[in-house]
Amino acid sequence: MAPIHMPSALSFELIAKCSVTKARAANLRLPHGEVPLPIFMPVATQASLKGLTPEQLEDTGCRLCLNNTYHLGLKPGQTTLDAIGGAHKLQSWPYNILTERSFQMVSLLKLSKVTEEGVRFLSPHDGSPMLLTPEHSISLQNSIGSDIIMQLDDVIATTSPDHARIEEAMKRSVRWLDRCIAAHKKPEIQNLFCIIQGGLDLELRRQCCAEMVARDTPGIAIGGLSGGEAKDAYCKVVDTCTGLLPEKKPRYVMGVGYPEDLVVSIALGADMFDCVWPTRTARFGNAITSSGTLNLRHSSYASDFSPVEEGCPCVCCRPPEQGGLGITRAYIYHVAAKETAGAHLLSMHNVHYLLTLMKSARTAIVEDRYPAFVKGFFAKLYPERSKYPEWAVTALKGVGVDLLVN
Partner 1 sequence: MADNLTLGLSQLPDEMLTFTLLKASEGLTPRLGKLAFPGRSTIQTPHYIGNASRGVIPHLSQDLFRKHTNIDAIYVPLEDFVEKAPQHTPPVYELDLPDAESPLRRFIALKQDAFLIMGARRTPPIAAPAANTNGAISILTSVGFRHLASSDYVAAAQKLRPDIVVGLGDIVYKQQAKPSNKRVAKMADRTEAWTKDIVDGKSGLDKTTRDGPRYSIFASVLPISSELQSSYVDELADELRDQLSGLAIYDPSSLTDLPQALTPLPRLSFSEPSSPRQLLHELSLGTDLLTIPFINAATDAGIALDFIFPPANASSSTRRPLGVDMWSSTHATDLSPLSSGCGCYACKRHHRAYLQHLLAAKEMLGWTLLQVHNHAVMDQFFAGVRASIGKDKFEEDRVAFEAVYEAELPERTGQGPRQVCVIVNGVRGYQFKSEGPGEAKKNASAYRMLDERKELLAEASTPSSGTDAKDLENIGFAEVVERQ
Beta carbon of residue 216, minimum distance to partner 1 (angstroms, whole number): 28
Beta carbon of residue 266, minimum distance to partner 1 (angstroms, whole number): 23
Phi then psi for residue 133, to 5 deg, are -115, 165
Instruction: Print the binding letters for residues 82-121 with partner 1: x by CB under 8 A, - otherwise.
Output: -xx----xxxx-----------xx-xxxx---------xx
Restricting to residues 244-283, name those near partner 1 by CB under 8 A: 276-277, 280
243 touches partner 1 by CB under 8 A: no
206 touches partner 1 by CB under 8 A: no
343 touches partner 1 by CB under 8 A: yes
- Closer of 76 and 187 to partner 1 (Cβ): 76
End-to-end CA distance of the chain: 49
216 carries a ligand binding annotation = no
Number of residues that bind partner 1 (CB under 8 A): 81
Which pairing describes strands 251-253 and 219-222: parallel, antiparallel, or unpaired? parallel
Residue selected from 39, 254, 327, 357 as contacting partner 1 according to rule CB under 8 A? 327
Considering the candidates 274, 304, 368, 402, report the single residue annotated as catalytic: 274
Residue selected from 1, 4, 15, 131 as contacting partner 1 according to rule CB under 8 A? 131
227 carries a ligand binding annotation = no
52 touches partner 1 by CB under 8 A: yes
Beta carbon of residue 54, minimum distance to partner 1 (angstroms, whole number): 7
| Nearest partner of 120 among 156, 109, 60, judged by Cα | 109
Strands of 38-166 (E only): list them.
39-42, 64-68, 96-100, 113-114, 119-122, 129-132, 148-150
Beta bridge partner(s), residue 11 = 29
| Region of 129-137, 167-175, 236-244, 372-380 interacting with partner 1 (CB under 8 A) | 129-137
Torsion (CA) 241, 244, 248, 252 in degrees, nearest 10: -10
Phi then psi for residue 33, to 5 deg, are 110, 170
Beta carbon of residue 209, minimum distance to partner 1 (angstroms, whole number): 25
Q: How far apart are CA 347 and CA 341, in angstroms?
A: 10
Instruction: Print the binding letters for residues 70-89 with partner 1: x by CB under 8 A, - otherwise.
Output: xx-xxxxxxxx--xx----x
Do residues 174 and 196 make contact, with C-beta atoms less than 8 angstroms apart?
A: no
| Region of 21-29, 339-347, 356-364, 379-387 interacting with partner 1 (CB under 8 A) | 339-347
DSSP 3-state of 180: helix
Compute how many other C-beta atoms are within 10 angstroms of the C-beta atom of residue 86.
16
Q: What is the DSSP letter of 196?
A: E
Phi then psi for residue 7, to 5 deg, are -65, 155
82 catalytic per annotation: no
207 carries a ligand binding annotation = no
List residues with catalytic annotation: 274
Binding residues for Zn(2+), by number, are 312, 314, 317, 349
